[in-house]
Amino acid sequence: MPTPEELQRFLDIATAAAMAGGAVLQRYYGQLTSVEEKGRQGDLVTNADKESEVAVLAVMRRHLPDHAILAEESGQSADAGENDYLWAIDPLDGTTNYAHQYPFFAVSIGLLFKGEPVVGVVYAPFFNELYQAAKGLGAFCNRKPIRISATPDLAQSLLVTGFAYDRHQTDDNNYAEFNRLTHLTQGVRRGGSAAVDLAFVACGRLDGYWERGLSAWDLAAGIILVEEAGGCVTAYDQSPFQISSGRVLATNGLLHGELSQALLETRPLGHPDQYRNS
C-alpha cells in the first residue's frame, strides 16, 4: 500500500488533472460542435470528452509516467495488466446530460492499487464542487470534510440509481428495482452520472446508490469517496465489491442490509422489447 505521503501526492496530481479537464468542459458547455454515438444507443461522445481527456492525461503522464492508465476514450495503456497502479479516468461522466446542458456531469479520476480504489477525485464544474478522497486520509468537498447521512432505514431514504446502455436488450435492466424501491423509499432519483451519484452519497445528500453495467472509470473515484466518508460499498448481496463486476451497492451503511435484501428479492419486469409498442 502506498504511504500517506504518496497518497497525498497522487491526490494532488489527480486534483490538478481534474481541474484541467473541468476547464475544458466549462469552455464547451453549450458550445458543442460534435456529438456522436459510440455504437450503442445513447452512448455519446463529444469533442468536449475528447479534449478533456487530452488535458487530464497530459497532467497525469507528466507527473506519473510509470503508472498505467485506463481512460474511457483512449483505452488502456499497454502495461495495465502488470502495473500495481492503474488510473481509471472518465473525462466527462454524464455525457448525455452534458450534451443536453443538464448540469449533472463531472470529471472522474480514480487510482486503483492492485485493483483496490485508493484515491479519488470527482470535479463537478457546473456546481463548482471538487470532491477528493484517499485511503486513510478522509473525504472532502471543496476542502471541507464530508460525511455520509444518518438516515436509518429505507422508508426515510432518498436513493439514486441509473440504467445501463444495454437496457434495451436485456431483462437485467434495473426497471423492476427502480419501480419497487420508489415505493419503499421517499424517492429514487436518476442522476445520469455515477461519479456524481457516489459523491452525493458521500456528502450525505443521498442515502444510497445501486447500479449495474458500469465501468472502472465510472466507479473508481466515487467508491473511495463513499468509503472515506464513512459509507459502505459492496456487491448487491453484500459480498466484497469487485470493480470488474460493473455492479455496486453504496450506502450510508445504516440501510445497507435492507437495500441489499430489496434488490435481491426483486424479479425482472420482462424483456425491454415489450415496452416498445405499449
**Is beta strand 85-93 parallel, antiparallel or unpaired with respect to 68-71?**
parallel
Q: Which pLDDT value is given to residue 43?
A: 56
Q: Which pLDDT value is given to residue 72?
A: 76
Q: Domain 154-274 belongs to what topology?
A: D-Maltodextrin-Binding Protein; domain 2 (3.40.190)
CA distance to 20, 35, 47, 114, 245, per residue, from 41 (Å): 29, 13, 18, 33, 22
**Is beta strand 208-211 parallel, antiparallel or unpaired with respect to 158-161?**
parallel
Domain ranges of the chain: 4-145, 154-274
246: left (phi over 0), alpha (psi -120 to 50) or beta: left
Q: Degrees (nearest 5) of the Cα angle 131, 55, 243?
A: 50
Q: What is the mean pLDDT of residues 108-125?
A: 97
Question: Contact at 8 Å (CB) between 49 and 30?
Answer: no
194-208 pLDDT, tens digit each: 999 999 999 999 999
Q: Architecture of 4-145 per CATH?
A: 2-Layer Sandwich (3.30)
pLDDT class of 277 with cuts at 50, 70, 90: very low
Q: Would you tell me how many other CB atoms lie within 10 Å of the CB of residue 45?
A: 19
149-168 pLDDT, tens digit each: 999 999 999 999 998 766 55
Tell me the whole-structure pTM to 2 decimals. 0.91
Closest CA to 42 of 4, 94, 83, 1: 94
